Structure 1
Amino acid sequence: MMEINDLPEVIKVCDQLKEQASCDFVGLAIQNRVGPDVRWHYAVGNLNDKYKLITVRFGKGIAGKVISTGVPMKMANFPHQATGKVTDYPIALAEKLNTCYAVPIFFNGAPKGVLLAGNRDSSVFSETEQEWVKESAEALEQILKDYMDFRSGG
């Protein structure tokens, strides 16, 4: 079974975004094909491999919220300004992120993935940097479209 981190184009987009937005972390999460859970598939700038073990419920955590709403999410001053329990944000905890900006990745018009850019210090994402995250997410939509079709056997 082909994995997302086997796709050089995905790695390239994530690496470029990390450099362009000079952020500490870039992660890619995708909703499981079967069931509502969301899992982190790829990361650059990660402190460890914990992200690979993180699965969040639809509507929970950064990835689950972005996928369930289909809108970008900003978070600053984590964990102090987190809504709900800090344990609802396992990626932010595992990667010690203080600020992040996450955008949905759409497949066939539905949000099924998330691209997250994060910082371990308190620097927030400017409008320009947020635009770069959105553009990177759109590039990933194109790259992963075939992968998602491949996964669904279509």
Structure 2
Amino acid sequence: MDELSSRSAILGSLDILRKEIGCDFSAVGLKEMPSLVLRWPMASGHSNDRIEGIAEKPGRGLSATVLKIGRAMPLSMTELVCSRQLQEYPLFLAENLRAAYAVPLGWGAAQSGVLLVGDRKKRIYRTEERRLIAAAADRIAAQLSDLPSARTV
């Protein structure tokens, strides 16, 4: 599969996931090498183009939580504001997200990216929705392994 069709397949998976769980936003964040900066090359439901310029430094935001711990976690704007960590999650600000659920993406032995779904209103993701997100993360990780530019991550 070539890069264009792999990217199209991933974007299709993001669109399907958004419809399945009824969320406003879904995106894939990938670590770039050698800097380990987390960037967001693919998204569905984004409200503006600022997502293209967002880069999370290693050890901050989702790199410090989901990727470092290696497991899924819910996020809420309220908790991030209370813990004074909102500035470490620029995607929340750029997309005006109030709630999100993030799942690590990995192929091989490394956690190389993040699948993030989010809403612009308060929301708690139910168990079944979390299962659907985890299944989508597995599909997207498999699709990413076919993406030549992602293999260097």
Question: Same fold per TM (> 0.5)?
Answer: yes
Contact 1:31 1:112 in 2 (8 A): yes
Alpha-carbon distance change, 27 to 5 in structure 1, aligned in 2, over 3 angstroms: farther
**Per-residue deviation, 1:95:** 0.5
**Per-residue deviation, 1:63:** 4.7
Query: Does residue 1:70 correspond to 2:64, yes or no?
Result: no
Contact 2:3 2:148 in 1 (8 A): no
Q: TM-score, normalised by structure 2?
A: 0.88
Report Cα offsets for 1:54-75 as digits up to 9, x if no partner: 0001221135521122111211
Q: Distance in 1 between matches of 2:86 and 2:5?
A: 28
* Equivalences, count: 149
Report what 2:92 is aligned to: 92
**Equivalent runs, 1:3-152 vs 2, <5 Å:** 7-76=7-76, 78=77, 80-82=78-80, 83-148=83-148, 151-152=151-152
Alpha-carbon distance change, 119 to 125 in structure 1, aligned in 2, over 3 angstroms: same
Q: Distance in 2 between matches of 1:95 and 1:10?
A: 20
RMSD: 2.1
Q: Distance in 2 between matches of 1:150 and 1:67?
A: 16
Q: TM-score, normalised by structure 1?
A: 0.88
Contact 1:105 1:115 in 2 (8 A): yes
Structure scoring higher RCO (CA < 8 A, sep ≥ 6) equals: 2
Alpha-carbon distance change, 150 to 30 in structure 1, aligned in 2, over 3 angstroms: closer
Q: Distance in 1 between matches of 2:90 and 2:4?
A: 21
Instruction: Look up the equivalent residue of 1:26 and give its one-letter code.
Output: S
**Per-residue deviation, 1:101:** 0.1
Between Structure 1 and Structure 2, which shows a larger proportion of helix residues? 2
Instruction: Look up the equivalent residue of 1:58 and give its one-letter code.
Output: P
**Per-residue deviation, 1:124:** 1.4
Alpha-carbon distance change, 52 to 42 in structure 1, aligned in 2, over 3 angstroms: same
Q: Distance in 1 between matches of 2:27 and 2:150?
A: 22
